[in-house]
Structure formats: structure tokens, C-alpha cells
């Protein structure tokens, strides 16, 4: 059903958090604020609805259709029907439509960013950045759509020709998390549509509004009905909807971004009908500062890599390993940078750099890691306290050891734990002692060390003297239990293509 507060603009009401006593309101074009599912080019209501909350205040933003099994099935059928036509479009036709979608996202970037801040909590500056990042995948894949080539291979027999052609796999189910509610969708859907696949998107319960705004703009761009479908649902219904999306025989491909635990459950679903899968799962990134590092650059990299989205990114630095010779000066400068640069508040406040965590459970997890570390001898240098609601103080811990909780599990919050090490070998052993391997960062000015460490880190992406590395041009993905496959880059389209071998025989040449 349509929401309570979407007529002509979204009104964010003051919530339970007294720290945020003023009223936050925003005007967003009514067309972009959607609360129904988007199936086969139509806005469709479900019998039930769920509330979308402002994580900063707990106030209800609006109420969104709570899709269940019938809507998921309807969307899969629509996508399958649309696939029969979409795959016959020329690459250029698909490219032009993706480009129009990109242009529209850019045109509405301000409003789309407001929606992200409202439902996800990140500061407006970061939301604007996410929209630019999100749009970049539509642009990139509008270009890549025309560069899907096959091969002609030299045969061993004289009367044969060997051709390899690439074809779209079919309907792709796309399940995405709340921490990048727009970009995690376009990174998958841009590639899928470029390849000639159609999609059904299930966004996170916390952030369906960004997905629905993308659907509105896809329709305005002229993307045909059934090619891009969105079925929002509550957390309660996610397992049932997910099961349809991951087991329906009409679905050929699953692309998931989220936790490793959910990824494993979806992989089991996929096994039943042997679907192609891409999994972008959890990370536990090491951030290593060697004695030879430029300390100021290392501090700037640490700040950028750790505190974006209040520490809620899969590529966030999680484990800080600092060599003994540079340790004290790095700790001191990092503490000063935290004091100077970080401001906790509502994402709509212009001075805010640290919004809320997505919910109180997330803040409790960070608090638990801090308590565990301090109880085992870590020194609390800065922060450490939960504020009201789901806000958490940016926190700095020193004297951390590898067996503490914060070094064993993904934090997903604004906590920097610092472990002092002596040798490169020791740092690599600690960094690689993890079941996951998404991103890793290190700072060094020693060229030989840079090559040694870049090659030996067991991760899918390495930042050398750089704390922010994600870009549409480079492949995004992890090793070990961080997932399967790559997104973005020239390799991203391959995840949605099958390679077909055609042998032409009996030729008289």
C-alpha cells in the first residue's frame, strides 16, 4: 500500500532520538518516491506492508509493499518473458537505454542522495558520492555492452571452423544489502542488462526506496517492461522470497551481495537447479603500516578507508597492523585526525561525517568488541561509547592482540583497533589468518616490499598507499569466503554470459 508520508515529498518526522531534536524534512520529486513493487513495468501493491525507518531517529519514513511468494513468482515470470525479447535487442540498443538511465540518475542525483541519507543514514556528501559511483556502473556497462566479443579459433581439422560466441544466461535474481542501496544494484544490473539478461531485484528491508527510485528512472529511460523488476520485502519474508528467486527454474543466475552467512544459504538454494552464481560477501580487511610508510598519507588513508559510511562497508579496513618503528607517531597523528575530522550527527546536517549505524544491534556489536578488547588488555585511546539510538562514538584502541573479537570478526562500525608488529612476515601471517579475503591495504615506500606484500596478501583487491580503491573500471570481488566472481571492469559482464562453442564441420575448403 502507498505510504503515509509520500504525497509530493517525503517528510522525515522527528524521532525518538533526543540528540536530534530538530525536524528533518526534505522535498523529493514525487515520482522518485515509490512504495509499491515494480513488476513488468507496473507499480504493484502487495497485501501487506512494512515500515522503512530513518536509522538516525527511528522515525518511520514510509510504508512499502511487503512482497511475498506470489509477487516474487510474478516478477520472475515477467523477467523470463521479457528476456525472450531483450536478448534479441542489438548491443547498441541496450547500450543506448543504459546510457539514458545513467543520464537520468545523474540528473536526479541530489534527490536520489537524499533518499539514501534518509533510509541508510550516511551523510549527504557520501550519498552524493554513492550516486556518482552508482551511475558510473550504468555508464561503464552502457559502453561495455558493445564490447562483448566472441572468438574464431584455429581448428585441428581442415574441414572445420571453430567459433565461440557469448550469449546472455537468462533471468538474474539480484539480492542486495542496505549499506550501498543504489550502487550495489547498478553494479550488478548494469552488467546484466548489457549482457542481455533481465533481472528481479530484492533490496534490503532497510533501504527499498533507493531501489524503487532506480526503477522509476529505468522506466523513464525506456527500459522495456519486465527487464528490471523490484520486489521489496520485510526481513520476515526475505527467506521465502529469496527461496523463490534462488530456486525457480526460470531463473538462470543469482547475484548476491551481503553477509557470508546469507551467501552460504543462497548457494545451497542455487545447487538444486545448478544456477550460475556471483557472491560478494563479507570482508575483514587488514590495513598495514610499515616503518617505511609516509605517515601522513597512511593516516589520511586510514581515515578514508575506515570511517566512510561510519565503518559500514565491506572493504572497510578492519584490522590495523602497525610496525613498531612508526607505531607511536601513527597512533598520535591518527588520534588528532579523528578529533579534527569526525562529527557524529544526522546525515542531513552539513557538518556530519559520521551518521548512525543501521540499527541498534549494529552499535551493540561494536560496543561488544570494544568491551572484549579492553577486558583483554587493549587501551581505549578514544571513544568507545554508544550514544543514543544507533549512534556510536568513533573509537580508537591500541595494544590490541590478534585473538581479540575485533580482530576475529568483521566490525561494520567506526572502530580502529591497532596491533603493533615487528616484521613483515609477522604482519602477513596475521593479515592472512582469516577465512575471508576481500580487500587489503598497506602503506610502504619500499618498492620491493610493495611487490612482495601485494602478491602475498590473500585478498581480491589491494590498496597500496591508497585507502579508497573501488571504481567501475577495476574488478571488485574477493577470495576465500569473501565470494565468487567479479563485478565492474571488463570482467563484470562475463558473470552474465555463457560461452557457446559452435563447430562448423564438413566444409570443403
Q: Give the residue numbers annotated as catalytic, written as ranges.
A: 280, 314
State yes or no: residue 235 binds ligand NAP (CB under 6 A).
Answer: yes
The three-state secondary structure class of 500 is strand
Of positions 45, 220, 259, 359, contacts ligand NAP by CB under 6 A: 259
| Nearer to ligand NAP among residue 57 and residue 255 (C-beta) | 255
257 is a site residue for ligand NAP (CB under 6 A): yes
- Spatial separation of the C-alpha atoms in residues 328 and 403, rounded to whole Å: 22
In sequence order, what are the residues at sequence separation of 6 or more whose Cβ sits closer than 8 angstroms to the Cβ of residue 38?
44, 212, 215, 216, 219, 228, 229, 230
Going by the DSSP 8-state scheme, the letter that residue 174 receives in this structure is E
Task: Give the nearest residue (CB) to ligand NAP.
Answer: 242
Q: Does 402 sit near ligand NAP (CB under 6 A)?
A: no
What nine digits make up the cell of 370? 570494544
Q: State the Cα–Cα distance between residues 216 and 56, nearest whole angstrom.
A: 26
* 282 binds ligand NAP per the rule CB under 6 A: yes
Cα–Cα distance, 408 to 410 (Å, whole number): 7
Written as nine digits, the cell of 417 is 583497533
Of 165, 238, 267, 468, the one binding ligand NAP (CB under 6 A) is 238
CB atoms inside a 10 Å sphere around CB 349: 17
Give the integer Cα–Cα distance in Å for 377 and 381: 12
Among 15, 121, 226, 283, binds ligand NAP (CB under 6 A): 283
Residues 345-374 binding ligand NAP (CB under 6 A) are: none
Length of the chain: 509
Site string for ligand NAP, 420-439 (x = CB under 6 A): ------------------x-
Site for ligand NAP in 8-47 (CB under 6 A): none
Does 280 sit near ligand NAP (CB under 6 A)?
Answer: yes
Total residues binding ligand NAP (CB under 6 A): 28
Q: How far is the CB of 480 from ligand NAP (least distance, A)?
A: 12
312 and 362 Cβ atoms separated by less than 8 Å? yes
Q: Are 476 and 470 in contact (CB under 8 A)?
A: yes
**Does 265 participate in binding ligand NAP (rule CB under 6 A)?**
yes
Q: Quick one: DSSP state of residue 31? A: G
Query: Shortest Cβ distance from residue 121 to ligand NAP (Å)?
Result: 13
Q: Is 177 in the site for ligand NAP (CB under 6 A)?
A: yes
Helices and strands: H and E segment counts in the chain: 14, 24
Span between the terminal Cα atoms of the chain, in Å: 66
Assess 205 for contact with ligand NAP (CB under 6 A): yes
- Distant-in-sequence, close-in-space partners of 429: CB < 8 Å, separation ≥ 6: none
Shorter beta-carbon distance to ligand NAP: residue 57 or 262: 262
Among 50, 133, 178, 421, which residue sits at the site for ligand NAP (rule: CB under 6 A)?
A: 178
Site for ligand NAP (CB under 6 A): which residue of 258, 286, 414, 417? 258
Which residue, among 136, 135, 139, has the nearest Cα to 96 in the 3D structure? 139
Nearer to ligand NAP, 134 or 176 (CB): 176
Q: Note whether 175 binds ligand NAP by CB under 6 A.
A: yes
Task: Read off the C-alpha cell for 480.
Answer: 576465500
Specify the stretch interacting with ligand NAP by CB under 6 A; choose among 275-283, 348-356, 372-380, 490-498. 275-283
- Binding residues for ligand NAP, rule: CB under 6 A, are 175-179, 184, 202, 204-206, 235, 238-239, 242, 257-259, 262, 265, 280-283, 314, 410, 438, 478, 483
Amino acid at each position: 500500500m502507498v505510504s503515509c508520508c509520500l504525497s509530493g515529498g517525503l517528510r522525515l518526522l522527528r524521532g525518538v532520538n533526543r540528540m536530534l531534536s530538530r525536524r528533518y524534512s526534505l522535498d523529493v520529486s514525487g515520482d522518485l518516491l515509490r512504495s509499491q513493487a515494480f513488476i513488468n513495468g507496473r507499480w504493484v501493491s502487495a497485501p501487506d506492508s512494512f515500515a522503512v525507518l530513518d536509522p538516525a531517529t527511528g522515525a518511520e519514513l514510509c510504508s512499502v509493499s511487503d512482497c511475498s511468494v506470489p509477487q516474487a513468482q510474478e516478477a520472475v515470470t515477467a523477467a523470463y518473458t521479457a528476456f525472450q525479447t531483450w536478448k534479441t535487442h542489438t548491443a547498441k540498443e541496450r547500450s543506448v537505454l543504459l546510457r539514458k538511465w545513467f543520464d537520468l540518475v545523474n540528473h536526479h542525483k541530489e534527490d536520489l542522495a537524499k533518499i539514501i541519507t534518509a533510509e541508510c543514514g550516511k551523510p549527504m556528501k557520501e550519498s552524493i558520492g554513492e550516486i556518482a559511483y552508482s551511475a558510473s556502473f550504468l555508464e561503464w556497462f552502457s559502453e561495455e555492452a558493445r564490447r562483448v566479443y566472441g572468438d574464431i579459433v584455429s581448428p585441428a581439422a581442415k574441414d572445420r571452423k571453430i567459433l565461440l560466441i557469448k550469449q546472455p544466461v537468462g533471468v538474474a535474481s539480484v539480492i542486495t544489502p542496505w549499506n550501498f542501496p543504489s550502487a550495489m544494484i547498478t553494479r550488478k544490473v548494469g552488467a546484466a542488462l548489457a549482457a542481455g539478461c533481465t533481472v528481479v531485484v530484492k533490496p534490503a528491508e532497510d533501504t527499498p526506496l533507493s531501489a524503487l527510485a532506480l526503477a522509476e528512472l529505468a522506466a523513464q529511460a525506456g527500459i522495456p517492461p519486465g527487464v528490471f523488476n523490484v520486489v521489496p520485502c520485510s526481513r520476515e519474508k526475505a527467506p521465502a522470497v529469496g527461496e523463490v528467486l534462488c530456486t525457480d527454474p526460470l531463473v538462470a543466475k543469482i547475484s548476491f551481495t551481503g553477509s557470508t552467512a546469507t551467501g552460504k544459504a543462497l548457494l545451497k538454494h542455487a545447487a538444486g537447479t545448478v544456477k550460475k552464481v556471483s557472491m560478494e560477501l563479507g570482508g575483514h580487511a587488514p590495513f598495514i603500516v610499515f616503518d617505511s610508510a609516509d605517515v601522513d598519507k597512511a593516516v589520511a588513508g586510514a581515515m578514508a578507508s575506515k570511517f566512510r559510511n561510519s565503518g559500514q562497508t565491506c572493504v572497510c579496513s578492519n584490522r590495523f597492523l602497525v610496525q613498531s618503528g612508526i607505531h607511536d607517531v601513527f597512533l598520535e597523528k591518527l588520534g588528532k585526525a579523528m578529533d579534527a575530522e569526525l562529527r557524529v550527527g544526522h546525515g542531513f546536517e552539513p557538518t556530519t561525517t559520521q551518521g548512525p549505524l543501521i540499527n541498534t544491534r549494529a552499535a551493540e556489536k561494536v560496543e561488544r568488541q570494544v568491551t572484549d578488547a579492553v577486558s583483554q588488555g587493549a587501551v581505549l585511546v578514544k571513544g568507545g561509547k554508544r550514544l543514543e539510538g544507533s549512534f556510536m562514538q568513533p573509537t580508537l584502541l591500541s595494544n590490541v592482540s590478534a585473538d581479540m573479537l575485533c580482530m576475529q570478526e568483521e566490525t561494520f562500525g567506526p572502530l580502529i583497533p591497532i596491533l603493533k608488529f615487528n616484521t613483515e612476515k609477522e604482519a602477513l601471517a596475521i593479515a592472512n589468518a582469516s577465512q575471508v579475503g576481500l580487500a587489503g591495504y598497506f602503506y610502504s615506500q619500499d618498492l620491493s616490499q610493495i611487490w612482495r606484500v601485494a602478491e602475498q596478501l590473500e585478498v581480491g583487491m589491494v590498496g597500496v598507499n591508497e585507502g579508497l580503491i573501488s571504481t567501475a573500471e577495476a574488478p571488485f570481488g574477493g577470495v576465500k569466503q569473501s565470494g565468487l566472481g567479479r563485478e565492474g571492469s571488463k570482467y563484470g559482464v562475463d558473470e552474465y554470459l555463457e560461452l557457446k562453442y559452435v563447430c562448423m564441420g564438413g566444409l570443403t575448403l
